[in-house]
Amino acid sequence: MSNSQELVPKTHKYEDYNILEDLTTGAYGRVLKVQLKDKSAKPEIMKCLRYMNAKDKKAADEEVAMLKLAGSKYTVRYIESFKHDIDLCIIMEYCEGGNLREIIEKMKTMPLKERKEKCQIMFFQVLMGLKHLHSLKIVHRDLKPENIFLDKDGNAKTGDFGLAEKIASRSQVYAAGTQDYQAPEAHNFNKMSELSDIWALAVIIIELLTGKHPYAGRDSRETVANICSG
C-alpha cells in the first residue's frame, strides 16, 4: 500500500458503534455517547443532524466544515462524519468532565481562592480557543456554559459550532445564539463580531466566580433588558 493510501482516514458506519447513552434529542436531531465495537476504543460523541432537505444539508455541512477548520487543543476535536438514513452523523471527542454549566453548580461550594484559580485557568483556555477561531475569521455566536466542555484532565474546550460563521471580508455577522449570552449589539443591531464572543466569555467567567449570571432577571426578557441597559 502506498503512503498516500495509508494517509486516507477510515470512515466508519453507524453500525460500527455501540450506543452508550442518549444525551439529548431535539428538532435538529440527537447527540449520543458512543463507542466503536472494538472494545479498546474510547467513548466518543456522535451528533446526528437531520439531512432531509436543502436547508438541513447546508446547515449540517457547514457545521462539519467549521469543526474541521476550528481544530486546536482548545476546541472539541472533530474525528469524522458519515451519512446514515436521513442523518449526517458527526463523530467528535468525548469530554468526560462535562460542561461548564455543571461546573458552575459545583463551584458554588468551593472556597473563593480555589474558585479564582480554576477560573483563571479556564479563562485562559477558552480565550486561546477564541483566539484561534478569530484568527480564522470565525465568530462562534453561541458561546455559553453549555458549549464549553472539560476533558478528563479538566481542560476547557470550546465546542458546538452549529451557529459559528466566517466573517470573511465583513467585520460583522448577523446575531444568533442564546439571548442571555448575546452582547448588547446583538440585541440592538442584530450584529455580532469577534468582540461579541469575548463579551460572552466575560459573562461566563463572572458566572463561574459568583454562581450567577451578572445580568440575570426574572425571565429571559428582563435579562435581555438588563444587558441592553448595561
Task: For residue 170, give the amino acid letter.
Answer: R
Going by C-alpha positions, the residue among 216, 185, 182, 28 that lies closest to residue 104 is: 216
Q: Which parts of the chain fold into alpha helices (H)?
A: 3-6, 54-69, 100-107, 112-135, 184-189, 194-210, 220-229
Contacts of 40 (CB under 8 A, 6+ apart): none
The H or E element that residue 46 is part of is strand 44-50
Buried b (16+ CB within 10 A) or exposed e, 25-62: eeebbebbbbbeeeeeeeebbbbbbbbeeeebeebbeb
Marked catalytic residue, from 61, 85, 87, 142: 142
Question: Which amino acid, 9?
Answer: P
Q: Is 142 a catalytic residue?
A: yes
Write out the catalytic residue numbers: 142
